[in-house]
Structure 1
Amino acid sequence: MNDKSDSSKSFSSRRQFMKASSAALGGTLLYNLPVEASAHVLGSDMLKVALIGCGKRGAGAAAQALSTSENVKLVAMADAFRDQLDETYDNLKKIDDIKGRVEVAEENKFIGFEAYKSAIALADVVLLATPPAFRPMHFEEAVRSGKHVFMEKPLASDAPGIRKIMAAGKEAKKKKLSVVVGLQNRYDPVYQTFVGHLKDGMIGDIISSTCYYMIGPVNLVPRKSGQTEMEYQMRNWRYFSWLWAGSPAGLQIHNTDVVHWVKNAYPIRAQGMGGRAVYQGPEKGDIFDHFYIEYEYADGSKLHSQIRTIGGTYNNGGSFFQGTKGSGDMRVGLKDLSGKSLWRIRGVKEVNPYQQEHDEFFAAIQNNTLINDTEWGAKSSMTAIMGRMAAHSGQLIEWEDAINSDISILPERFSWDADPPVLPGPDGNYPIPIPGKTKVL
């Protein structure tokens, strides 16, 4: 690609691909099974897939899994909501290239908080795409049962959940189970080349980086008569920190993960600020609608993260780098301090990274090679959670304190009649974090 317009065209084409795909889709004794119980039996041609979490991202993950070159079939589905499961099933059956691989019998459609266990039991490969609050227990069950796992980011909502993820990831390695995390940039040849040049020092030492995730508001589903509070919050999971982990993890993690990848390191501390400029009034949950977070690495360099989910505002996204010899912008390339181009996105094979991560995942399973993204996926998730903790509390948060925190933000039990961790007051407003007062450690 020869100029910025060509680079923008490249990214536009990838966005169009995903938009078209979304349109087609409608948008204890944990490890007591032996290694021999690993899901896929070598020599078997067919891989049976279970989808846990049937929202738009789950639908996309299922379509991508079924679009690999491997012999795969979707045999089980699980979701908290029947209507969501049915919509995804119907939409998958409408896609000509994969509809023959969708073989989910009615008795293999499972509904409710415990549904994941029944679906996992039927599969060789499990796709975990629920809100992140549920990821640790779903991942633990999949690994305990000897299943290969694709799991969406972020990997948990709090530090206790991240520690569970990391423990299960170690067990997956022992059992020779492949685990892929849905941070698809790591599987994109364009990003791999860009990051490779940065690691090789094309713009010198990285002294600063900035990430942007500035978009419109997240979708709000109106409350319906007769809903329990738990159902309302789960229908609007992006508005509640315990379900979503907050936008530093739910959104910006894609960009901050690229910085960690470039530096081959994770921040040692974070401080930041944020609040609610427009998310006012009843029904809007407890999340902030804007954040600024400053992360510091051991070498003293800083990562600046800006996030906004407010309509009618300037939009921006991506990871940007300043080095001692130049600068880097994924949308343009690399240039020296005088502005002269050092590298542009030219001659690099472009693929759909969402598909690529599944292609490599299923190939690893069939070829009996091991992929395990758990550790870096967990650390990138924890970094984002640490940033949220810093902004919510207004304090400087150290990595060691954050990762070792015993504070869980999840409910005591998962049930439709259970109380979520945050409840609306008499006026319908939810309590929100207050910097200087909110305790996160």
Structure 2
Amino acid sequence: MNTPTTTPAAATSRRQFIGTTAAASALTVAQSAWAAGSDEIKIGLIGCGGRGTGAAGQALSTNQQGITLHAVADAFKEKADGALSNLRNKVPDKVKVDDSRIFAGTDAYKKVIDCCDLVILTTPPGFRPYHFEAAVNAGKNIFMEKPVAVDAPGVRKVLEMAKVADEKNLKVVVGLQRRYQNCYKDALTQVKEQGIIGDIVSGQVYWNGGGIWFRDKRPDQSELMYQINNWYFFTWLCGDHINEQHIHNIDVANWFIGGHPVSAAGMGGRMQRVDKKFGQIYDHHYVEYTYENGVRVNSQCRHQSGVSNAVREEFTGTKGKIYLDNSGRCYANDHKGNTIWKYRPGGKDGGAAKGGAKKLDPDPYQTEHDTLQAAIRENKPLNNAYYGAESTMTAIMGRMATYSGKELKWEDVLNSKVQHMPNIITPESEPPVKPDADGWYPIAIPGKDIPGAPVV
């Protein structure tokens, strides 16, 4: 599904990365990228799974006029058809896709990019850098889901193309929706501007939950298409759940601390996910991230059943501690346990403690698309690709630390040449990993060099 059209980005130092993320390039295109002289914005959906279908529904539910779904693409025709059926039921007046614009196959993304103004990139994450590259080169505005890559070469490509997006005055939103959620934005203001907890000295971020879906191999499927359909369990497509899912919490740490870590060390493995059908990924990761200012953040993520769950973030400061939760229950205590701040959704007292933010606040998933389309219409700068790449690289560094059992430095992992995602994938391609004679896929073992499972 990916054919690169530019050479890989050059090696990047931590200082260059910070400089890149600190400021956008000067805008050189006067008009936003959509059909010139037209009030219509034609949306194309690339990747028609559950998240893609949801994102398309949100893109079609803004208050903007002239928004239509124009084309869809997926590696599997039945998924494209399923997404269209769902969207036609939800927003029938805005789905303008005829049979000639339902594309299937590993190169279907190119056809959607060719005929649309705004593209939604929601395929398995391994494809993201190449689809982003193609969309930027074609001058399209972009919503892309997190994570934006599965390896360092992919992150460097996204950073390279983010600069081109700025030069072309394109608008880019990345699906790290906590950055668009009122309780998190209010909490950040309290921490950064009001100083309610003082200077942050440590943090804990969690995504401990149950497992994920699994799809059996169909008799007619090649090994490649089986892996693409079952993408979550393969590092080259997913990057492991620390990257695909826990990135949300890791991103909050980078956001609140104000940068990326300089090193990481950790451990992980497979305790419940022991069947060969579960491909390559671990079922738990624990990482200690150290930031440039000496702050340490402990990161936990787990896919196990029958155990305690937690999806939240906490930061301790010199004056107190702040607790964050995407349900809207966000508050801060001083070191004596007294509440010094509590988020009030919609300005209502007590609502957060009862989960009221879900009802009283805007849906951050929807806000992402509202913001993107408003930026296109009003020609305002908007490019989330930089922090999307930074947080993706942070998650990848954590995975590399748990897979290797080594303490790793930011400069080394950002410039790593280990590439899990091939440059080119066609229906005839051999997948980069294959099962052995007993059906086992290569799984990283700390301290060992496992063929087919490179780490650093």
Q: Answer whether TM exceeds 0.5 for this pair.
A: yes
Q: CA deviation at 1:41?
A: 4.2
Paired residue for 2:400, among 362, 386, 389? 389
Which deviates more from structure 2 when the two are superposed, residues 175-184 or residues 227-236?
Answer: 227-236
Alignment partners' CA distance in 1, 2:384 and 2:67: 22
Paired residue for 1:88, among 71, 74, 83? 83
1:74 equivalent in alignment to 2:69: yes
State the SS of the aligned residue for 1:370. coil
- Number of aligned pairs? 410
Correspondence 1:5-20 to 2 at 5 A: none
Alpha-carbon contact 1:38-1:146 (below 8 Å) kept: no
1:214 is matched with which residue? Answer: 208
Alignment partners' CA distance in 2, 1:382 and 1:204: 28
Alignment partners' CA distance in 2, 1:207 and 1:311: 32
Alignment partners' CA distance in 1, 2:32 and 2:418: 33
Alignment partners' CA distance in 2, 1:217 and 1:262: 28
Q: CA deviation at 1:332?
A: 4.0
1:429 is matched with which residue? Answer: 440
State the SS of the aligned residue for 2:422. coil
Question: Cα gap change, 1:210/1:366 in structure 2, threshold over 3 Å: closer, same or farther?
Answer: same
Correspondence 1:159-198 to 2 at 5 A: 159-198=152-191
Q: CA deviation at 1:381?
A: 0.4
2:144 is matched with which residue? Answer: 151
Question: Cα gap change, 1:109/1:335 in structure 2, threshold over 3 Å: closer, same or farther?
Answer: same
1:377 is matched with which residue? Answer: 388
Q: CA deviation at 1:279?
A: 1.4
Q: CA deviation at 1:418?
A: 2.1
1:440 equivalent in alignment to 2:434: no
Alpha-carbon contact 2:183-2:330 (below 8 Å) kept: no
- Structure 2 residue runs of 5 or longer lacking an equivalent are 8-27, 348-360
Correspondence 1:29-40 to 2 at 5 A: 30=6, 35=29, 39-40=33-34
Q: CA deviation at 1:29?
A: 5.5
Alignment partners' CA distance in 2, 1:284 and 1:108: 35
Alpha-carbon contact 1:284-1:429 (below 8 Å) kept: no
Q: CA deviation at 1:154?
A: 0.1
Correspondence 1:15-30 to 2 at 5 A: 30=6
State the SS of the aligned residue for 2:277. coil
1:276 is matched with which residue? Answer: 270
Paired residue for 2:368, among 357, 360, 384? 357
Alpha-carbon contact 1:271-1:396 (below 8 Å) kept: yes
Question: Cα gap change, 1:154/1:347 in structure 2, threshold over 3 Å: closer, same or farther?
Answer: closer
Alpha-carbon contact 2:45-2:112 (below 8 Å) kept: yes
Q: CA deviation at 1:313?
A: 1.6
Per-residue CA deviations over 1:99-143 (Å, capped at 9, x if unaligned) read 110011101111111111110111110100001110111001111
Alignment partners' CA distance in 2, 1:353 and 1:43: 31
Q: CA deviation at 1:199?
A: 1.5
1:346 is matched with which residue? Answer: 344
Q: CA deviation at 1:413?
A: 3.4
Instruction: State TM-score, norm by structure 2.
Output: 0.87
Alignment partners' CA distance in 2, 1:191 and 1:52: 29
Return the letter of the residue paired with 2:224: M
Per-residue CA deviations over 1:37-71 (Å, capped at 9, x if unaligned) read 96314552110000000000000110000001112
Alignment partners' CA distance in 1, 2:31 and 2:435: 46
Alignment partners' CA distance in 2, 1:210 and 1:327: 11
1:24 is matched with which residue? Answer: none
Q: CA deviation at 1:417?
A: 3.4
Correspondence 1:22-421 to 2 at 5 A: 30=6, 35=29, 39-41=33-35, 43-70=37-64, 71-95=66-90, 98-200=91-193, 201-330=195-324, 331-348=329-346, 350-411=361-422, 413-421=424-432
Per-residue CA deviations over 1:266-301 (Å, capped at 9, x if unaligned) read 101101000010112321100000000110001111
Which deviates more from structure 2 when the two are superposed, residues 408-417 or residues 172-181?
Answer: 408-417
Alpha-carbon contact 1:199-1:263 (below 8 Å) kept: no
Alpha-carbon contact 1:212-1:306 (below 8 Å) kept: yes
Which deviates more from structure 2 when the two are superposed, residues 82-91 or residues 37-46?
Answer: 37-46
Q: CA deviation at 1:85?
A: 0.6
Q: CA deviation at 1:83?
A: 0.7
Q: CA deviation at 1:259?
A: 1.2
Alpha-carbon contact 2:43-2:119 (below 8 Å) kept: yes
Per-residue CA deviations over 1:227-255 (Å, capped at 9, x if unaligned) read 21111111111111110111111111111
Alignment partners' CA distance in 1, 2:403 and 2:31: 43
Alignment partners' CA distance in 1, 2:81 and 2:410: 42
Alpha-carbon contact 1:230-1:419 (below 8 Å) kept: yes
State the SS of the aligned residue for 1:104. coil
2:10 is matched with which residue? Answer: none
State the SS of the aligned residue for 1:210. strand
Return the letter of the residue paired with 2:188: V
Per-residue CA deviations over 1:177-225 (Å, capped at 9, x if unaligned) read 0000000111112110011111132111111110110111111111221
Alignment partners' CA distance in 2, 1:406 and 1:161: 10
Q: CA deviation at 1:421?
A: 1.7
Alignment partners' CA distance in 1, 2:345 and 2:58: 25
Return the letter of the residue paired with 1:189: N
Return the letter of the residue paired with 1:429: W
Instruction: State TM-score, norm by structure 1.
Output: 0.90
Return the letter of the residue paired with 1:146: G
Q: Superposition RMSD on alpha carbons, in Å?
A: 1.6
Alignment partners' CA distance in 1, 2:118 and 2:345: 34
Question: Cα gap change, 1:265/1:251 in structure 2, threshold over 3 Å: closer, same or farther?
Answer: same
